[in-house]
Structure 1
């Protein structure tokens, strides 16, 4: 059992914390002196993350956050580790949005996208509420997607899960305030290759055309999302709740026509 956190040390739970945006966000908050609990199905990714942080800074829990019993067990461990939470980041999800043709999409595959993003956010938020209220004012930040606003072909389950997650965001904000503010970050094209576990790590070289699709002239970085989450969790956004912050370099504002 891990020693309980000092009451003045902020604590955050990050789902899908082993790789990608979750890993970057975990390192961001750990770098600010926070205690970080990272939940992920990938034990290898969690072990690599654990090795990157000072002893005692990270609580790594292997957990399928789309399932009720593992979530319950995980938050029991978290309750032994910290006296309350300042922030929950519901980041877990299936990275690949493509499902293939609608007529071939199985219910099992559909449910996989829904459970990974939407059901997991419900289960973890429900489990975390009492701990968040202990540290009020506290925050929940849900990681949705620009695909909650617009779609690519054959992304039915992913888009529905992320759109539903924003609806859950404002529904929770209405009920959980003023003790807990609830907001969402909607990433656009974020390059997560360098933030994967070693076996999956890549460092892509993006084309000029790919960069020009963004009004800021570049692909998004994991750090962009971590900073947005940090802002939504902090005092400077204290008058913001029930909102979705789109962080996409302006990509969803650029109308494109092929000549």
Structure 2
């Protein structure tokens, strides 16, 4: 408990961003670094981890280069041990690893289903299990999706995993409180390299999204990172078990 609201600051904190070498995760990692945190951005690719670490160092952050596969508990344990040994501990964990199998449910293979569930849901469970046990206090931020609350064609695994992730967020907030806060960010349509051509300017799908969105556009990754900064900071000292939607008003508007 604090006597007065804290600032939205992550200065001198150590953050681990899983799935942090591209898209929303990488922008969150950079935002943390720009605001004074030490940051470890990790994924399965050694080259991507090295490139991300170089940029984070240029922004003034202390970091270390460790790959991580959220489908492998030992990989997560190794990541945690490396961060604790080299940076002294963990204050913030961001879970941003993702997988999207684009297939109707009758055509989706069990391997595609298993991958979506294992990376987007079970992988977050593993990460929270490993890092929650290593954190005395701090903040865990899960990257969910507005798809958790929608009917989406050809996305059964992804939608199911993100709906489960929202439940996992609330349940682990109860387990880890009061010292560790657990929240989720639920982005709407965000223009990243993973979004593909559907969100390119002028596409039929993009025009439909813009028409329904009061902000009349899709988001950029840096517009998601501000919420992560807030949730990781002392300003969010009484915020836990929450799902913060950032969709430009898309879910609240119909045409």
TM-score, normalisation: structure 1:
0.85
The residue that corresponds to 1:132 in the other structure is 135
Query: Does 1:180 find its partner at 2:201?
Result: no
Match of 2:83 among 46, 61, 78: 78
The residue that corresponds to 2:66 in the other structure is 61
The secondary structure found in structure 1 opposite 2:66 is strand
List aligned pairs for 1:99-114, cutoff 5 A: 100-114=103-117
Query: Does 1:234 find its partner at 2:222?
Result: no
The secondary structure found in structure 1 opposite 2:15 is strand
The residue that corresponds to 1:122 in the other structure is 125
Residues matched between the structures, number: 239
Deviation at 1:214, TM superposition (A): 1.4
The residue that corresponds to 1:36 in the other structure is 39
Task: Flag structure 2 segments of 5+ consecutive residues without an equivalent.
Answer: 1-10
Deviation at 1:204, TM superposition (A): 4.0
The secondary structure found in structure 2 opposite 1:88 is strand
The secondary structure found in structure 1 opposite 2:75 is helix
Q: CA offsets per residue over residues 153-211 of structure 1, 9 Å max, x none?
A: 12110011111111000001111111011111001101113x99xxx9xx943555543
Deviation at 1:236, TM superposition (A): 1.9
Q: Any conservation in 1 of the 2:104–2:155 contact (CA below 8 Å)?
A: no
Query: Does 1:143 find its partner at 2:146?
Result: no
Task: Flag structure 1 segments of 5+ consecutive residues without an equivalent.
Answer: 1-7
CA distance in 1, matches of 2:231, 2:217: 23
RMSD: 2.2
TM-score, normalisation: structure 2:
0.86
CA distance in 2, matches of 1:113, 1:46: 22
The residue that corresponds to 1:3 in the other structure is none
